[in-house]
Structures are given as C-alpha cells and as structure tokens.
Amino acid sequence: MLRIFRAVPLADKVLFFFMLTASLSGIFVVREALPQAADVIVEVDGRPVRTAPLSVDGTMAFNGDCGEIQVEIKNSRVRVSEAHCPNKLCVQQGWVSRGVIVCLPNNVVVFIGGRGTGTKKGLDAVTG
Amino acid sequence: MNRLDEIQRAFQSRGGTSFLLGLLLLAVIPSCGDSGRHTYQKSRAMMDTFVTMTVISESRQQSETAIQAAFNSIEEFGCLINFFSATSELSQINKNAGVREVRVSPAAFDLIEKALYVADKSAGAFDPTIGPVMRLWDFHNGVRPPDADIKKNLPLVNYRDVVINKKNSGVFLRKKGMLLDLGGIAKGYAADLAVGALKQHGITAGIVAVGGDVRTFGLRADGTAWNVGIKNPRQTGAKDEIMGTIRLTDKAISTSGDYERYFISDGRRFHHILDPQTGYPSDRARSVSIIARDGVFTDGFDTAVFVLGPRRGLDLIKEINRDFEVDAIIIDVNGVIYETDRVKETIKDAKNL
C-alpha cells in the first residue's frame, strides 16, 4: 500500500487531494445555498412548539390566546383551517406553500419552509 | 510529447506543487471568508404585528443571543406602552388624565417626548392624544361612528394638553377623558430599541422590521446596502405588490397607507389615519414613506405628512431636514408621485398606484 502511494507522482497526489477537498466542500456549499428540508414550524407566544415535515399530510391543533387553532398540512401546503380569533385573517389567507401565516390575536405564527420570512424578490424587508 | 514531459516535470518539482497548492488555497480561502459572515433571521409576532430581525454575524451563538435580547427589549417596551392593557404605564397615564401626573420608565418617557416633538413640528397633524376619537372607529367591522360623537370628543385631542416633567419622568394629561395613543409612533421606536440591543451585543449589520417600520444598519453579507420594498397602495395581485425598492444603510423607513386598515362605506374609503383636526380619515394621500436615521421619527412623520398631504407635507420635510436628514415618497390621493431629491425615481412601477 505504502509502495503504491510512493509510486504515485506528487502532482497526482496533490490533484487527488484537491479533488477530494473540492467534492467535500461541495456538500457544504449545497447545504448553505439550498433551503433546509422544508419544515413547518409553529410558534405560540414566540416559542416554537411543533416542527413537522411539509411532506407529510395531517392536522395539528394548538392553544392560542383565543382558543384552539388548527393547522392543516396537505400536498406540501399549509393552512389554518380553524381559528377562533375575531377576524380570521389567518384562515382567509388560505393555502401557503412557502412563507408565513400569522395569527396576531392568537399569537401563533406558522413558518413554512424555514424560520425566515421567505422575503420575495431579493428584498430584505417591506415597508407599508 | 516533449511538452507533456515538461509539464509533468514541472508538476513533480517543488514549484509545480506549490503552484497547485496555491490554486487549492485560492479555491478554499474565499469560501471560508464568505461563510464567516452569515445572515441569520428570526421572526415573531409582537406588538400586534410581525417582527423580523435579520443580522449579519460570524457566529450563530452571537446572533442568537443578540436577537433574543432585541426581542426582549421590544417585548418589555411593548408592555409599557400597550394601549389595551390595563396594567401598562400608558394606561396609568390615561386613567389619571385630569387627576395627577404619572411617573414612567425612561423608554416610555423618551417616546412620549419624541411624539410631542413630532406633534409640535407638524402643528398637530400627528397628535398622540388622538385616542378619544380613534377609539370611536371600528375599522374591522366597518362601523362609522356618529358625527356627534366625533364632535364631542374632538376637544380632548390636543397634544398641547400633555405636560411632561423631565426631572422625574412624569407625564400628565390636563383634561379628564384624554387618551394618549402611541400606536402611530411606537413601532418605529421599537425598531430603534431593537437595533440598539443588537449593537450592544456586538452585531454590526442588520435589519429590523417591526411591521412596516424598518431600520437598517451596516451592510448585507454581500457588502451591499439593504434592499427594502415599498408596498403599492393599490395592489391588484402578487405581481404589483411592490411599487419600488430602496437601498438603505444606517437609515430607517416607515410607511403610512390608506390600505392597511379601512372599510368602504357609501363608496368612500374610511381608513385608520385620522386627521386630528377633524376626527375623520385624512383624504390627501394614499401612501407616505419617510426615510431618516431614527425609526421613531420616520414612523411619526409618515403619519404627519400623510395627514398634511403632499404640498404642506413636503414643506414640513424641508423644515425638519434642517434638524436631521429626512426624505419622503408620497403618493397623493390621485396616484401622483412626489419624491425628495435624494430618493428621486424610487417608484418605478407607477402605472397603477
């Protein structure tokens, strides 16, 4: 084994090492550049209470400030299917595949596909 | 053949090796440099809105500690000035209107002092004592209050009847029934507080959005300024949601719009930005964005300029520009765009505003 190693020209060893590093660093590059595996994170009163994969259909119920709030996952999309807040803006928002659903009266936030807000079009924030 | 030999020899010699090693280092070092400064983002529902903090940091640990501290500072502050919470300092002031002075925390006092500055500069176009009239309106259920009720409560709206005592952080409302409502300025102040907390924890770049009140500092991970979109007041779909974008660093931006909370009655739009002189929604503008260093002033003056309309609003901007750098983007009630010189041509999609 050692003899074979010695027989390999130095340039080849360097090349081998280089290619190994390049391919390994590729893993990190991909991990950084691509979004994390799509998850649904539900926060109540600012604390994460449940993380569920977006790929698995189902419903979850949480106790918000205005009573029970129901979150449904179906076909990689999420909606608030039931809430007892006065305006039900969260229910009206309907199905969301990426971004956030906020129910302010309930103090419940549902993040879809990561914890960030998923701001659009390269924007860091929106005013208005 | 000769050539190949030459290359092989070069590679086998030390020079060749260090050349390759150098290449390797070149490939690895910049990626290390990039991964050093990461962007971290967290959002929470607070102060009746959605708060998002984005920071640039070399350490996840540092960013998380800083963001948590910033959220805490907003939460504490939100409790002090919550109009609807009976235990807030603001409610104590309101309960004791016409009775006695109430001592408040430094943050609440500072905000009230600044709110009165905005009120004074705008001659009451922004008035933090709008409470008695504001509470009559129910924008969610689209209920218009009787004219007589507005008329009856209007004399209670006057910022000149707020007495503040800097020595003991005391606040007194002269007339019984007066209500201080800081909703028109508190979110911008919260963004300032959050940025202060982030900086205190060693963060040198970030962006804090308390609803539509946004404050930026430092630069993004790619070394460019923060990119903030401005909402189209007459959005018809997902495509025309943003009417323009602005690049900011170490500046705040706030927007007041007639599209945020409103109802339509008899073909007329009733929105939540009331003219303190009349008690009815101001009908001179659709959207006003103000850009300045502090969120508390962008938030306060966007309401003031909205109420004043483009002509008098721009006069006000010119005047306060003597105190500090300030810019405005105004869409008037007919959809006409007004922009100050430093922010000229920010609004690009001007077809349907």
- What is the average pLDDT score of chain B? 91
The number of folded domains in chain B is 3
Residue B148 is predicted with a pLDDT of 97
> How many whole angstroms separate alpha carbon B123 and alpha carbon B307?
11
pLDDT tens for each residue of A74-103? 888 999 999 888 888 888 888 988 888 888
Residues A26 and A44 in one domain: no
Share of chain A above pLDDT 70, in %: 85
Kindly tell me the burial class for residue B351, based on how many C-beta atoms sit within 10 Å of its own C-beta (0-12, 13-18, 19 or more).
exposed
Residues of A in contact with B75 (CB under 8 A): 46
Question: Are residue A48 and residue A102 in the same domain, yes or no?
Answer: yes
Question: Last residue of a domain, which of B138, B173, B208?
Answer: B173
For the stretch B113-149, pLDDT in tens is: 999 999 999 999 999 999 999 999 999 889 899 999 9
- Residue B8 belongs to domain spanning: 2-30
- Quick one: which of B312, B294, B314, B304 has its CA closest to B130? B304
Which of B65-69, B239-243, B252-256, B292-296 is predicted least confidently? B239-243
Does the distance separating the beta carbons of B214 and A9 come in below 8 Å?
Answer: no
Q: Does B45 touch chain A (CB under 8 A)?
A: yes
Phi, psi of B350 (to 5 degrees): -100, 15
For residue B278, give how far its alpha carbon lies from the nearest alpha carbon of chain A (Å).
24
Among A39-48, B16-25, B41-50, B63-72, the minimum mean pLDDT is found in: B16-25
Split at pLDDT 50, 70, 90, the class of A35 is very low
> Within its chain, how far is the Cα of B104 from the centroid?
24
In chain A, % of residues over pLDDT 90 = 9
The CA distance from B164 to the nearest CA of chain A, in Å, is: 31
Q: Tell me which residues of chain B, numbers 17 to 36, contact chain A at a CB-CB cutoff of 8 Å.
A: 17, 20-21, 23-24, 27-28, 31, 35
Task: Report the b/e string of A110-126 with b at 16+ CB within 10 A.
Answer: bbbbbbbbbbeeeebbb
Report which of residues B23 and B274 the model is more confident about.
B274
Residues A28 and A43 in one domain: no
Kindly state whether residues B155 and B229 are assigned to the same domain.
no
Question: Domain range holding A60?
Answer: 39-112
Mean pLDDT of B294-300: 98
Kindly give the residue spans of alpha helices, DSSP state H, lying in chain B: 2-12, 14-36, 60-80, 89-95, 106-121, 131-134, 147-153, 186-200, 295-320
